[in-house]
Structure 1
Amino acid sequence: MKDKLSPFLILLAAILWGTTGTTQAFAPETAHPIAIGATRLAVGGLFLIVVVLIIGKFDFKNWPIKTTILASLSMALYQPLFFSAVSITGVAVGTVVAIGSAPILSGIIEWLYLKVRPSKVWWCSTFLSILGCLMLFSNKESVNVDPFGILMALGAGLSFAGYTLISRTLVEKHSSISVVAIVFTLSAIWLSPLLFIFDMSWIMSLQGVGVSLQLGIMATGIAYLLFARGLKNVSSSTAVTLALAEPLTAALLGVFLLEETLNITSWIGIFLLLLGIGILMWTPKKSDSENEIMLAQKE
């Protein structure tokens, strides 16, 4: 039963991530996107640490320090790389390259690292989802392809793919909540200098507090906890493809809450995204790729 629920947990995590853009739209004007990203990790890490202390789930026995540091660095790097890419090359191009490259990079890393070739179902689903993502953002703005911005976006995609693969190895031997609590607390520490660089006065307002709590607790703490639990029974490449539900959620929230409009191409993109994710969700669990992963881990 848990195996069947795992893809839905990852999908729910992606939906929570998709609320990030809408939440940021309600942030005070003085809030810099990178400062919001750093605050998000700080609040999320603190929230998870408190939850772990309350339920008594801390267990440092045989804890892999190097792996944990790599996971935390991957998540910490993702925040400034993504926000920098968006600011340099635009929201549409930056988002599509960062989020769209993550599944492909994850599949390549999984192929090289675990010696496992992603399944045909994964390739089909990922192709449809990325194509849908491209079409979804086609009407957002005029295309501004800045080479440095593209490089930053690819770095963000690689960081998220790396975080997913590394976290999967951690949650196999340790409780999900302990993993995300430690990883996100470390990530917040790596990014803490940013809190002294940018103007943080906005966080003292009622609006700033609300945005920080929503992003930190719901879109980070709870979302990544769900993601980590799902990773126990889902391959990293599959998880990253399912995470493409994030831009889908963001687009729909923009339409219904921020009164944004989508053209016919974007609606077709939404359909393709839903189709790609649906194929991955309702394919029999024991795909060739995931069976091979299990064999590789046993060897």
Structure 2
Amino acid sequence: MRNGGVLALVLASVLWGTTGTAASWMPRSVSPIAIGAATMTIGGVLLAATSPRGVLRALRARASRDWVLVGAIGVFVYPLAFYASMNLAGVAIGNVVSLGSGPVFAALFEWAIERRRPTALWLFCTITAVLGVTLLALAGRGDIPGGSVGIGVLLGLLAGLSYAFYTYASSRAMRTGAHSRGVVGAMFGVGAVALLPVLL
């Protein structure tokens, strides 16, 4: 079971890392906001469809519903910030900043809300990761205008923050006893509904 979880995590990471490259192949006439809204809307509907009963249970129980609705805010913000970040700062920088900052923000949520103090190992790994993200961002600037990169990096940080926000909210919802697939399906389903006006 543990090996299966690790394999699923690695596979999810690989697939998640391809989203930026795939988006860069879209015609320039398609805005990054539309790409973000479309990907999360379609993904949200598909996720909700995998466990309709679990979704309903997660939304009916108040303990899990509150966290699902809170997390849906992050689901709404993430794709808009993520794809806009890559559009302004480039695929490499947008991906590195967005995906690299997410775990840091998630740990900070636990620290601030649950009073879980980070370990020395976490601090070392986080500092190393932040330095690595910074170096990669600086090295990947290329011919992109400096002002554009700066805004793109800020949007990447917003994407990382919103990603951490909805992953933390989903973990809290699951701790209430709600099934993981139902929680994630409900959260992304609600986020998909919220993104529909942006897409249309």
TM-score by length of 1: 0.56
Residue-pair matches, total: 193
Summarize deviations over 1:156-209 as a string: whole Å, max 9, x none.
Answer: 22111111111111223211211121111111111111222xxxxxxxxxxxxx
More helix by share: 2
Distance 1:142 1:26 in 2: 19
Match of 1:199 in 2: none
Corresponding residue for 1:13? Answer: 12
Equivalent residue, structure 2, for 1:178: 182
Q: Which runs of 5+ in 1 are unaligned?
A: 197-299
Counterpart of 1:245 in structure 2 is none
Indicate if the aligned counterparts of 1:41 and 1:185 stay in contact, CA closer than 8 A: no
Q: Which amino acid aligns with 1:107?
A: A
Question: TM-score by structure 2 length?
Answer: 0.80
- Which one has the largest radius of gyration? 1
Matched-pair contact (CA < 8 Å) for 1:106–1:162: yes
Q: Which residue of 1 aligns with 2:194?
A: 190
CA separation in 2, counterparts of 1:113 and 1:105? 12
Partner of 2:26: 27
Letter of the structure 1 residue corresponding to residue 186 of structure 2: I
Cα deviation, residue 70, structure 1: 0.9
Does the aligned pair in 1 maintain the 2:102–2:163 contact within 8 Å? yes
Write out aligned runs for 1:282-293 (5 A).
none
Counterpart contact for 2:97–2:133, Cα < 8 Å:
no
**Partner amino acid for 1:169?**
R
Alpha-carbon distance, 1:71 to partner:
0.4
Q: Which of 156, 160, 176 is residue 159 of structure 2 equivalent to?
A: 156
1:244-255 aligned at under 5 Å gives the runs: none
Structure 2 stretches lacking a partner, 5+ long: none
Q: Distance in 1 between matches of 2:65 and 2:110?
A: 21
* CA apart distance, 1:91: 4.1
Tell me which moved more, 132-141 or 161-170: 132-141
Q: How far has the Cα of 1:59 moved from its partner?
A: 4.6
- TM superposition shift of 1:45: 1.8
Aligned-pair RMSD on alpha carbons? 2.7
Q: Deviations over 1:53-109 (max 9, x none)?
A: 4xx544525243321111011111111122233334444544443333323222222
* Structure 2 SS opposite 1:74: helix
